Amino acid sequence: MLKHFWKIKNLLLSLLCLLLIFSVISAVTFGNISISIEEAYKIIIDAAAGQSADSMNHDVIWLLRLPRIVLAAIVGAGLSVCGVVMQAIVKNPLADPYILGISSGASFGATLAILLGVGSFFGENFIGITAALGAFAVSIGVLIIANCGGRSNSIKLLLGGMALSAVCSAFSSFIVYFSNDKDGIQTISYWLMGSLAGAKWENLAVIFTIVTICIIFFATQSRILNLMLLGDETAITLGTDLHAYRHTYLMVSALIIGFIVFSAGVIGFVGLVVPHIVRMLTGTDHKILIPVSAVSGAIFLIWADVLCRTLISGTELPIGILISLIGAPCFVYLMVKRTYGFGG
């Protein structure tokens, strides 16, 4: 019976991987310029083989659409897995990757970079880098606060995250209030809405490598993540102290979020909605939950990006707006129906 159960779950994962490949090839055909799937497939194969072409369709597919679709897959997978891990770390099924104030740290870093020029020595990507450093700094700050006055636990992590989030938001608002740079304020607003438009092949290799390694790491930690759902007392009874694991997972999650913020800005609700949908299909075992969440998150964000590019003709909707429109009702539904239990 158990063997048959795992066969079904492995089949589901295989089907989702095939759907991911189909989504990547199909998504590049959508946009202001209509391109057939056969032509898109040929362009991708030729470009991957190193055969250059001067056609406009080649540039549209290989230089514009495909990089942002690959970035969407990376960001979706990273956010979904971080959502699963954060929900286990704080033992809160309504947690998402930004619950510990990481997004506020990122927005504070972006505000410093855009309005005050902090981090300009990093080069043309200094806004994203400064925002990522802000996110990482808040994560370290949360750990320090949570360990003050004794060992950290899920409640102290949440309270520490709320406190630092309030501080970062206050400082960001203070800087914006006294700034006369209207263009800078507009840039901050647009950046905080999230966008995949800045995807470039030269940046994708690093982001893909980091996020993939972190996801593989979490996939090997399924037993510990399952124990976290049971609580510290039960875990200690079973011979495992979760204290060090919780810190490690938080820092690895912060690393993923930092690179995602650097490449795409702040995109919320993906790490909340996708894990719950996946749990309905696979159950609560992290051994299958993490890989399925990663693939599902990638597929979800790819098609969300397609909608952002095609929903309003002639313009692009910031992806954070669309995701929030989808995620907020799901969040309310989970609270009202109380269908968000995840074991433990």
Q: What is the pLDDT of residues 103-147, one digit of tens each?
A: 788 888 888 888 888 888 887 778 778 888 888 888 888 888 888
Q: How much is the mean pLDDT over the chain?
A: 83
Q: Are 103 and 265 in contact (CB under 8 A)?
A: no
Tell me: pLDDT of 34 over 60.
yes
User: In degrees rounded to 5, what are phi and psi of residue 315?
Assistant: -145, 165
Tell me: pLDDT of 298 over 80.
yes
Tell me: pLDDT of 341 over 60.
no
Supply 227's token pair. Answer: 């124990």
Measured CA angle at 93 (ends 293, 343), to 5 deg: 85
Tell me: pLDDT of 5 over 60.
no
Which amino acid does the sequence have at 141? G
Tell me: pLDDT of 282 over 80.
yes
d(CA 97, CA 78): 9
Q: Quote the pLDDT of residue 1.
A: 55
- In CATH, which superfamily holds the domain spanning 2-337? ABC transporter involved in vitamin B12 uptake, BtuC (1.10.3470.10)
Q: Out of 104-113, 263-272, 334-343, which region has the weakest mean confidence (pLDDT)? A: 334-343
Is pLDDT larger for residue 37 or for residue 291?
291
Q: Domain residue spans in the chain?
A: 2-337
Mean pLDDT of 144-151: 81
Q: Quote the pLDDT of residue 338.
A: 57
Q: What is the DSSP letter of 266?
A: -
Q: Quote the pLDDT of residue 293.
A: 94
d(CA 152, CA 149): 9
Supply 82's token pair. Answer: 């971080």
Tell me: pLDDT of 266 over 50.
yes
